[in-house]
Amino acid sequence: MSLVSPTAPFSLLPYLERAIEDDAAAGLQPLRFFNLDLERVAVPGVWRPSRLHRCMRANLYKLFDSPRDEHVTFDPVQQNNFMRGHLLGAYAAAVLRLLDGRWGFSDFVDEGIAHDEASSIGGKKDVTFRKDGVKYVVEVKSKLADIQDDMKPEKDHLLQLNEYLHAEKLPMGFLIYVGPKLVPGTKMKRLWFVEKLQRYSRELWEESHSRTLQLTWFRRDPSRLAPATGSRWNECPTCPWRESCERGLSPLQLDSGLSVLL
């Protein structure tokens, strides 16, 4: 397979197809690197890329560990979404690791820590690897609905990947959607990938940075009530602070033991 110049955009998919084919021919189990990685590790920083752009008020309730509403009901759909994301994230990481040591690919790491001290953004990158010596971050997002190559990446996903690129000072990364994908020329589907190669964006970073500054202002004084910016469709229905939010209670009103950080 021909090598491309180190920083030129390239597609992972032809390499993955070839690796699986070669392994099948060699009788190797393609999911031999599957690892659910259930180990909990301490992640530095205050703001998590996975929820930085979700509801501001819920971000502060979570940060202050505000008591949850009494009547919080277990949400099986939310739990199932979490399990699906974890499972398909591990599936994607296992398939990507098949490239390790082939065609210039190396140094695969799952769930490595990314931390930008200045903005206090900290989180776990799904996968990082090197291609011809150049390091890339991969952010994996699972989908239940069919995925297509021309699908538009979601803004929150681009922001999250860009935050990892900023923290790691890297020029490019991959956003990978994993889900049911039609096999070209057939009516059959398989669990496969759609990849979006993203270059680091200063503009997206400014948006993330400004968000951390806004949240930090509320963090300094728990009597301040952050805006309720949650989505009424996919955040509020399962929010454990819904009643407190509707009553307009600040973290300090929920927990008088909190101190002002001004």
Please identify, using beta-carbon distances, which residue of 58 and 140 lies nearer to ligand SF4. Answer: 58
Task: Tell me how far apart the alpha carbons of residues 236 and 87 are, in angstroms, rounded to a whole number.
Answer: 25
Give the E-state strand segments of 54-188 in sequence order.
105-116, 121-131, 134-142, 172-182
In the bound state, the residue with its beta carbon closest to ligand SF4 is 230
Closest distance to ligand SF4 from the beta carbon of 78 (Å) = 12
3-state SS class at 40 = coil
| Region for 59 from its dihedrals, namely left if φ exceeds 0, alpha if ψ lies in -120 to 50, beta otherwise | alpha
Instruction: Indicate whether 239 belongs to the interface with ligand SF4 (CB under 6 A).
Output: yes
Taking CB under 6 A as the criterion, which residues in 33-72 touch ligand SF4?
55, 57-58
The distance of closest approach from Cβ of residue 230 to ligand SF4 in the complex, given in angstroms and rounded to an integer, is 3
Q: Are 106 and 33 in contact (CB under 8 A)?
A: no
3-state secondary structure of 29: coil
If the CB atoms of residues 55 and 140 are measured against ligand SF4, the closer one turns out to be: 55
Least distance in angstroms from the C-beta of 87 to ligand SF4 = 25
What is d(CA 80, CA 86) in angstroms, rounded to the nearest whole number? Answer: 10
Select the residue interacting with ligand SF4 from 122, 179, 230, 251 (CB under 6 A). 230
Count the neighbouring beta carbons within 10 Å of the beta carbon of residue 15. 19
Q: Which stretch binds ligand SF4 (CB under 6 A): 63-71, 92-100, 180-188, 231-239?
A: 231-239
Stretch that binds ligand SF4, among 79-87, 148-156, 186-194, 236-244 (CB under 6 A): 236-244
Instruction: Tell me how far, at minimum, the Cβ of 234 lies from ligand SF4, in Å.
Output: 9
Residue with smaller CB distance to ligand SF4, 37 or 69:
69
**How many amino acids of this chain bind ligand SF4 (CB under 6 A)?**
11
Structure tokens at 107: 């140094």
Helices (H), 174-240: 202-219
Tell me which residue of 168, 150, 231 sits closest to 205, measured CA to CA.
168
Minimum CB distance to ligand SF4 smaller for 53 or for 57: 57
Interface residues with ligand SF4 (CB under 6 A) are 55, 57-58, 228, 230, 235-236, 239, 241-242, 245
